[in-house]
Structure 1
C-alpha cells in the first residue's frame, strides 16, 4: 500500500498545479454548459464525462514522460500521421462531401487530429537537433515538413484543421528564429495571392466567406448559423439569462450547440460578464504556458510550450470569432469546452506536454 501511494504521488508530482487548476476549472464549466446545451440529456452528459475522464488520464500520462523522450516520439508520430493522411486520400470514408476519416471497423478515426501534435513535435525535434548551427536551409526544410500534412489535409478538404496546423507550424518556426524578412515577405506574398487562392476554394468555402459579409442574404440557409449565434450572444445582455434559461439554446435555434457553437450557449446564459471571465480564464492558461516556455532549459521545451500555448489562443480566437460573426464558419471547436472526444484528448495531451516541460526542468538541465 505504501509503495502504491508513493508511486501515485510521484506521478502526480509532474502535474503543474497552476495549469491543472485552470484546466479543471474550465472543464467544470464545460460540463455545466454541455449539460445545459443538450437539454440535460443523460447520454450527452455521461458521454462528455467519459471523454473528460479519458482525456485527463492521458494528460497525466503525458505529463510523466520527460521532454527528451517526447522529442524522440516526434519523427515517428509525424511519419505515421502522414502515412495515415495518404491512406485517407486513398481509402478514406466520405462524409458530407469530405474524405477525412478512416473506418477502423469499431470506430472512425480522423488522422488530421494526430497531426495537431505530430507537426510541432517533429519540428521541435528537428530544430533541437540542429540548434548549434541553424541556417536558412533548416527553415526551408522545416517549411517543407509543415507543407506536406498541410496540403494533404487541405485537399480532404478540411480548411479549418489545415489552417490550425499551419498556424502551429508558423508559431514554431517563428520561435525557432525565422527571420523577419521572410515573415514580412511571406505576408506580402500571401496578401497578393488572395485573388488567386479564391479561385481554388470550394463552393461551400466561398459561400461561408460571402455569408460572413452579409448573413441576411440567406437567413434560413448559409447565414442561419451566424444569425442565430449572434442573437443568442446579444440576448445574454450583461449578466446572462442564467444556466439552462437561454431561449435560443433551449428552443433549439442554435445549431451544433454542444460542439462548435457552445460559446453561443455560454454567452446567452452568462452574458457579457461571464464571457469576459471565460476569456480571462483562457488567457491565464496561455500566460501560464508562456511562463513555462520562458523557463524551459532546452530549445525543444521552449518551442513546444510556446507553440502549444499560442495554439490554444488561436483556437479560442477562431471559434469565438466564428460564433460572434467576425470570422467565417470553419468548424473549429472551443477548446476544453465543446463536446467531442478526439479534440478534447488532443488538447489535454498538449496540456500534458506543457506540464512535462514545466516539471522536468531539473532533469533536462542535467
Structure 2
C-alpha cells in the first residue's frame, strides 16, 4: 500500500499544532541563558553542563508529549493524580527517607520526591473542582478549595520543605482567585501580612533572641527570617549566603564584569552557585542590564502563558493554564528575592536557569499543559 505523502505531512503537522511558538521561544531563550551561566558557574564541576543538556532534551520530549494530550484527558487525570500525591505525602510522613535533616523522599522501587508531583496535581485538582461547579460556585466552594489546598501544603511544610510548600500554595491560590474569589476577601489577608511583616521588622531585636520561640515554626525557619533582617548577625553562617550574593549582584554594576570573569563565583564566595544562587552569578557577569533583560524574558513567558489561558476553550483550561503561568512568576519572584536579600532563603530554583532535572521537568510539564490548552482552542477554530 502506497503512503499518501500529503496525509503523512498533515498528520505530522497536526502533532506540532500544539507547539506554541512564542512560548517555546521564550523558554528556549531562558534555557540558553541558563546554559551559558551554568557553564561559568560550574567551571570547577565538570559534567554539570552535559547533565543539564540531557535534562533539557528530556524536558522538551515530555513537554511535546504533554502538549499533544487533550485537556479533557488532563481533566480525567486530576483526581487520581491528586489522590496518589496525597497518599505518597502521607507515606513520606510515616516512613519517608531522611536526608540533610528533612524527610522529603520515599522509596517506591525508585526514590521519588512526592511534593514535586503536587506542583502539577494541585492546580489540576482545583481547576477540575471549579469546572464541575461552573455557574453554581458558592462561597463554601472557596472553603472547599482552601481545604483541598491546605492538606498537601501542610504535609509538605511538615517535612520540612518551605520552598516547595510556598510554590504549591501559590499554584492553588491562583486557581482559587481566577475561579472568582473576590479581591475584597484577599485584601484583608494582604494587609495582615504587611502588618505582620512590619511588626517583625520593628521588633527584630527582641523576637530574634535565642530564647524566644516562634509558634508554628521550626528554629531553623525562625533563624532564616532573623538572618534576612540582619545578615551581619551570622556573617559566617546562614548570613554568608545573603551577604555574598548581594555583594556579587552589586559588584556587577551596570554592564557586569563579563562572562567567566565573575570573581565572587569563581573564588567560591557564592554558595550553591549553580542551583539556587545562579542569579547572583548571572548578575555579577552581566550586570543590571543583563538582569533587567532576564526579568523581561520571564515577563514575556508569563504574559504569553496568561494570553493562552485567557483564550482557553473551557473554564478548566483557563484556570489551569493561568495558574501554571503565574507559577513561573512565583518561582522567579521568590528566587530573585531570596538571592537579592529581600526574602528568606527557602531553596527555590530559578526557572529554566538553575541546574537540576526534577524542577526543570516540572516546569517543562507546566509549559506543555499550557500548550495543550492553546492547541485545544486552535483545533476548535480550525
Q: In the TM superposition, what are the counterparts of 1:184-223 in structure 2 within 5 Å?
A: 184-187=187-190, 198-223=214-239
Q: Deviations over 1:78-110 (max 9, x none)?
A: 0010000001011111111110011345x5311
What is the CA–CA distance in structure 2 between the aligned matches of 1:41 and 1:99, rounded to whole Å?
Answer: 27
The residue that corresponds to 1:62 in the other structure is: 66
Q: In the TM superposition, what are the counterparts of 1:171-250 in structure 2 within 5 Å?
A: 171-187=174-190, 198-250=214-266
What is the CA–CA distance in structure 2 between the aligned matches of 1:237 and 1:349, rounded to whole Å?
Answer: 36
What is the CA–CA distance in structure 2 between the aligned matches of 1:198 and 1:285, rounded to whole Å?
Answer: 38
Q: In the TM superposition, what are the counterparts of 1:102-117 in structure 2 within 5 Å?
A: 102-104=106-108, 107-117=110-120
The residue that corresponds to 2:308 in the other structure is: 292
Helix, strand or coil for the counterpart of 2:225?
helix
Equivalent of 2:158 in 155, 158, 165: 155
Q: In the TM superposition, what are the counterparts of 1:17-32 in structure 2 within 5 Å?
A: 17-32=21-36
Do 2:313 and 2:376's aligned partners in 1 also have CA atoms closer than 8 Å? no
Do 1:85 and 1:152's aligned partners in 2 also have CA atoms closer than 8 Å? yes
Helix, strand or coil for the counterpart of 1:99?
strand
Do 1:319 and 1:333's aligned partners in 2 also have CA atoms closer than 8 Å? yes
What is the CA–CA distance in structure 2 between the aligned matches of 1:41 and 1:23, rounded to whole Å?
Answer: 25
Helix, strand or coil for the counterpart of 2:257?
coil
When Rg is computed on C-alpha atoms for both structures, the one with the higher figure is 2
Helix, strand or coil for the counterpart of 1:303?
helix
RMSD of the alignment, in Å? Answer: 2.1
Do 2:102 and 2:161's aligned partners in 1 also have CA atoms closer than 8 Å? yes
The residue that corresponds to 1:128 in the other structure is: 131
Equivalent of 2:146 in 140, 143, 154: 143
Shift of 1:258: 0.6
What is the CA–CA distance in structure 1 between the aligned matches of 2:263 and 2:108, rounded to whole Å?
Answer: 40
Q: Deviations over 1:16-56 (max 9, x none)?
A: 00111111111111111111100074411111111111011
Q: Give unmatched runs, 5+ long, in structure 1.
A: none
What is the CA–CA distance in structure 1 between the aligned matches of 2:167 and 2:367, rounded to whole Å?
Answer: 17
Helix, strand or coil for the counterpart of 1:200?
coil
Shift of 1:361: 0.5
Note if 1:98 corresponds to 2:84.
no
The residue that corresponds to 1:11 in the other structure is: 15
The residue that corresponds to 2:332 in the other structure is: 316
Q: 1:14 to 1:362 in 2, by over 3 A?
A: closer
Helix, strand or coil for the counterpart of 2:106?
strand
Do 1:35 and 1:41's aligned partners in 2 also have CA atoms closer than 8 Å? no
Matched positions, count: 365
Helix, strand or coil for the counterpart of 2:33?
helix
The residue that corresponds to 1:76 in the other structure is: 80
Shift of 1:200: 1.5
The residue that corresponds to 2:203 in the other structure is: none
